[in-house]
Structure formats: C-alpha cells, structure tokens
Amino acid sequence: MAETLNEMLTDASAGTGGLRFIDRKEAATWVGWRQIRERAEKVAASLLALGLKPRERVALIYPTAPEFFDAFFGILLAGGVPSPLYPPVRLGRLKEYHLRTGRMVELLEAPLVLADARVRRLLGEAIAGLNLRIGCLRLSDLPAGDDGPRPATVAPTASDLGLVQFSSGTTVDPKPVALAHRALVAQVRLLNSFWPDTEEARHSGVSWLPLYHDMGLIGCVFAALAKATELTLIPPELFITRPAIWLRTLSRYGATVSPAPNFAYGLCLRKVSDRDLEGVDLSRWRVALNGAEPISAPVLRAFQKRFEPFGLQPHALTPVYGLAEAALAVTFSDLGKPFRTETFDRGLLATEGIAGEDPEGIEVVSVGTPLPETTVEIRNGSEDPELATVVGEGVVGRVWVRGPSLMDGYLDQPDATARVLRDGWLDTGDQGFLYQRELWLTGRAKDMLLLRGRNIAPQTVEMALDGIADARPGCAVAVSWMPEGAESEELLLFVETFPDPAPEVLDALPEACRRAVLAKTGLAIDHIRLLDPGTLPRTSSGKLRRQEALRLYLLGELLPPGRVTPMGLAVAMGRSAWAFARERAKSP
C-alpha cells in the first residue's frame, strides 16, 4: 500500500483513471494519471536543474487546469513540498490580495513561486521584496529538458511533509498547516473506505471546489488518486456563474460522489431552472457531502424536494465536519440514511450550554459520528489545556479531535502549534456537543455572540434572514460588541443588498430583518448596517470573516471593493510588471 503521495501517483499511473477538465462550453479534456505523472516528471527535472533543494516549499498559484497538476506533482517528484495558494479572484481587492499572498509566501520561506501565466501578470506587488532565490515563474519559463537522463527524483518518506495547506482564516489570518504524507494518506484511506467499489459500479467524482482548498484537493483529487479512478473538475468561477453545470456534469458522467459547502446547495435552488436540467438524471449521485460551513436544514430539505424529480435520492445529502488541521474530514453522517436534525431548547443552549430537546426550539443538523480511528471529545470552554476537562453528553464545549490524519503543526510556528495540539489531541476552536453519539456544532468559539449573559451562535441570526428577498443570500454577518457608553454587549447585523437597490427597499429592509430575527431567534437587533454587494470580508474559500468585518467597521474601513475596469486592470498589470523589473534589477 502506498505510504506517500508520490507512491500513490506511481500506482495510479498504472491504471486507466485520470482527470477530466470541463470548460465554459462544457467540453471535456481528459488527462490520465499516467500522463499526469509523465508531465510532472519533466517539471521535476526542470526544478532540480534550477536548484530546488529537498524539502523546500514551493508556492503554486493556478486556476483549475492541467498545469496545476504539472506543477503540484512536479514539486513532489523533485522532493519539494507544494503549497497551493488562491488566485486573485476578487479583483476589486487586489491590495488585500497582495498583502495576504506575500505574507503566505513569506511564511513558507519559499524560494520559488510557480504561477499560471495570466495570474503571474498580477503577482509582482505580492512578491516584491521577498527576494525569492529562484523567482516567480511560469511553467513555460522552466528550462527544457534534453534527451539525456533526467535528474533523479527524490523519494520522500511517510513522515516527510507532503503539503502545506493554509487554514481558511475565518477568525485569524490563515496559518500554514503542515501535513505529512502519512496524514494525507491516512485521510484518503479513511475517506475511500466509505465508498468501496462494487461489481455493479465503480465510484467516481465531480468537483468544482478550488484546488487550494482541502475539500477540493485532499477530499476529491487525492481520494481519486488513491483509488486510481476518474474525477471530473469544473472551474469554481464557472460553477458560481452557472451552477447548473455541476448537476449536468454529475448526470453526464454518472458520478457517485460530490461535495460542496451549504451555500452551493442554496445557489442551485435560486439559479437552476428546469430548462437547465433537461435530460438530467441524478439517481447515481449517492453521496452529496455538505460541509466546510454551517449547514442549514431548510436548505437541505428544499434541495432534496427541488431535485427529487430528477432522481436525487433522499439519503444522498450527507452532512460532514472537518478542518484543515485534521487534513479534512473528522465526522460523517450515516451514508444510506437521510440527514438528521433535532430541535433543541434555545434558551438552555444560550444560557446553560445544555442541549435539551424542544419541539419549538432551534433546529440543528447532525454532522454524524467520527471517522474510523478518529475520536472526538467535548471539553469545557477553557483555552488553557490544563483546565479543559471532558464534559458530558448534551453539554456544549470545545471540540477536540484525535486521529491519524492530524497535522504535524503550524509550519515553523511552535507557539501557535502548542496552543492547539496537546498529547495527540487537536483543539479545533469549534464549539458543539455530543448527543446520541453524534456531533452537533454550534459555531466557532471566537465568533460566538455574547449578549446579556447568553452565548449565541452567529449563524442562527444570519440564517434567520433566509427567504428575505432583498437581502443577498449568505451575505449577512452578526457580531456583538460593546459600544462606547453602553452598559452591555449589543447585537450588530451587517446585511449586503443586491446591486442598486431601490430607495423603498433600503427603507423597508432593516425592519424586515429585525422581524425575521426576532421571530426565529427571539433576539432583538440593536443595530443594522446595509452594505453594498461584496463588502463583507471573506476567506480565500469564501467564508465570512465576522471579526474582521467588525474591526473594519470600527475603523471606518468596511467599504465595498473597488470597481474593476479594463483601465484599472491594465494599471494593476503595469504595477506588477514594474515590481518584477525592480526585483530583477536587484538580482546579482
């Protein structure tokens, strides 16, 4: 059995599987695992010729395309450690992108950044001043190999680093998660145990998730690599603009497994018409995983009802839970059974941290039971590991995890590592409780609303806005803070509107939000701020950054992204070119 990603690639290249890339016309380009390895070997030879040293980290910034895999596996075969970073998808926030990307490359201590040709045209300001030993290159810039013998590739061991995956950074800046080959192989082995092939069918997947995200890379690509099966990839920006392409692709290739965060299911409800689904058959989609962000029971029920006429099975929708520090998955709901929810007493949860059933209470979705070889404990809310003790069933606390796929730590950050890893256990920073052996999440500890002695998950407030026509779905943030002169914490709600709202909408929307939140949560909103589309800060994977929104608001800097024009884009590329030129001038 393979012990490293390199060995998995070698094993897969002997089979018939591979990757299928879907373009804007829904045409497919097929690249088999054998071809992927051959292409990666050429890149590895070039990287070694450039002087890449064993175990050096390399950042790569690519859209979903074959070149990503040329670079990713080429780095591995050269003995390096790849770290995928996100491309500049929000062009109206390039300044923020440059700062965050430069910081991530700096944390990696990377001598080299490999980038897509179009992306590289915007990277000059991000890498300015980093003094990269090799530079920021396109694959076409790499020296071509000759007909002679290629430099020997370096074989890593199971304990060597296989990937640096940056955390999403919802409450803090993204941290470099160091994942050994051992942890990655363990994770995909556990994932693939949930969908063994049968004589009737071989499992295959479809994914539109970004390749710099753990669910897209580890959960989809690595899982397909380990099974030497096929995976169909859709560019994420194509899914966002035309979500029906996801469902059509699932049907066309008979895929059985496909994951997505909750917002994707809601997007399909809003944007996919019956005309988009002519001839679509979703009956072979057995596992529709839902994770990476809070899960809405009404969205799941509506998705099941909407697409049941197209063959979607009731048991396909599968809530899950995981995080980058665990190399992805921690818990899975039961496959083959409909997802499970319960309603719990809102007051007990908020004031006592106890889960008591209440038919009129708040509905929570179960994210299932721990993966094999994985253990979950709920400990009291103390961040001091010495004071954190295990609590009983139905008691809310911090979620701790132990298993074979945990990270080695945060790369070169021993203090940050020590705060979350202790005696083989990981403090996830999430809050939840165990009930009837299943895990039920209540939110991120650092995002919890503190209101008059009550701890309230912000998503319960934000989800109360679902169905309000003039509020952008999934674009609301609830935070609590103590205004100057106030006697207690107050509840502030940020809500993005659609573009160019009518004056009567701006007048009526705050009251509509107040009524909805009061009716569904019992909470009174103290302050509401309506925002232009795209104003709320997000992580690279699209998660809302609540505390960053509050920080920017208090500084008077919570502003919409700049308008992107052809002239503005040309100026940005000019600045990037000038930055590259300055870096070249400094080279000896």
Is-contact 465 476, C-beta < 8 A? Answer: yes
| C-alpha distances out from residue 437 to 115, 194, 359, 431, 434, Å | 45, 19, 20, 16, 6
Is-contact 9 156, C-beta < 8 A? Answer: no
Is-contact 580 249, C-beta < 8 A? Answer: no
pLDDT < 50: residue spans in the chain? 147-149
> Which tokens is 35 given?
């071809």
* Interatomic CA distance for residues 82 and 162, integer angstroms: 7
Secondary structure element (H or E) that encloses residue 124, with its range: helix 124-127
Q: What is the pLDDT of residue 182?
A: 98
Q: What is the pLDDT of residue 148?
A: 47
**Relative orientation angle of helices 244-253 and 262-271, to the nearest 10 degrees:** 100
Q: What is the pLDDT of residue 572?
A: 75
Query: What are the backbone dihedrals phi and psi of residue 580, each rounded to the nearest 5 degrees, phi first?
Result: -60, -40
Burial zone of 550 (CB within 10 Å; 0-12 exposed, 13-18 middle, 19+ buried) = middle
* Interatomic CA distance for residues 566 and 337, integer angstroms: 51
- Cβ atoms within 10 Å of 306's Cβ, excluding its own: 16
Quick one: DSSP state of residue 348? I
Architecture category of domain 449-554 in CATH: 2-Layer Sandwich (3.30)
Amino acid at 256: T
Is-contact 537 93, C-beta < 8 A? Answer: no
> Which tokens is 126 given?
């991000």
Q: What is the pLDDT of residue 141?
A: 94
- Cβ atoms within 10 Å of 567's Cβ, excluding its own: 8
Of the candidates 348, 527, 372, 544, which has an alpha carbon nearest to the alpha carbon of residue 433? Answer: 348
- CB within 8 Å of 36: residues ≥ 6 apart: 9, 13, 18, 19, 66, 69, 70, 73
Of the candidates 167, 224, 195, which has an alpha carbon nearest to the alpha carbon of residue 5? Answer: 224
Is-contact 296 261, C-beta < 8 A? Answer: no
| C-alpha distances out from residue 537 to 125, 173, 407, 474, 489, Å | 21, 12, 27, 13, 22
Which residues belong to CATH 2.30.38.10 in the chain?
337-445
Q: What is the pLDDT of residue 149?
A: 47
Q: How far apart are the first and last CA of the chain?
A: 47
Give the max Cα distance, the chain.
77
* Interatomic CA distance for residues 517 and 461, integer angstroms: 6
Is-contact 173 539, C-beta < 8 A? Answer: no
Q: What is the pLDDT of residue 371?
A: 97
Q: What is the DSSP string of 128-196?
A: TTS--SSEEE-GGGSPPP-SSPPPPPPPPPTTSEEEEEE---SSSS--EEEEEHHHHHHHHHHHHTTS-
Which residues belong to CATH 3.30.300.30 in the chain?
449-554
Q: Is 478 helix (H, G, I), strand (E, B) or coil?
A: strand
Query: What are the backbone dihedrals phi and psi of residue 162, each rounded to the nearest 5 degrees, phi first?
Result: -110, -20
Secondary structure element (H or E) that encloses residue 428, with its range: strand 425-435
* Interatomic CA distance for residues 460 and 478, integer angstroms: 9
Q: Is 516 helix (H, G, I), strand (E, B) or coil?
A: helix
**Relative orientation angle of helices 297-307 and 262-271, to the nearest 10 degrees:** 50
Bridge partners (DSSP) listed for residue 113: 59, 136
Q: What is the DSSP string of 238-302?
A: HHHH-THHHHHHHHHHT--EEEE-HHHHHHHHHH--TGGGTT---TT--EEEE-SS---HHHHHH
Interior CA angle at 85 toward 82 and 91, to 5°?
160
Is-contact 516 456, C-beta < 8 A? Answer: no
Predicted TM-score of the model (pTM): 0.90
Instruction: Provide the sign of the torsion angle of the four alpha carbons 417, 178, 181, 202, taken in this order.
Output: positive
Q: Is 467 helix (H, G, I), strand (E, B) or coil?
A: coil
> Which tokens is 408 given?
């080695």
Query: What are the backbone dihedrals phi and psi of residue 422, each rounded to the nearest 5 degrees, phi first?
Result: -150, 120
Secondary structure element (H or E) that encloses residue 7, with its range: helix 5-12
Which residues belong to CATH 3.40.50.980 in the chain?
5-183
- 337-445 has which CATH code? 2.30.38.10
Is-contact 58 83, C-beta < 8 A? Answer: yes
Architecture category of domain 5-183 in CATH: 3-Layer(aba) Sandwich (3.40)
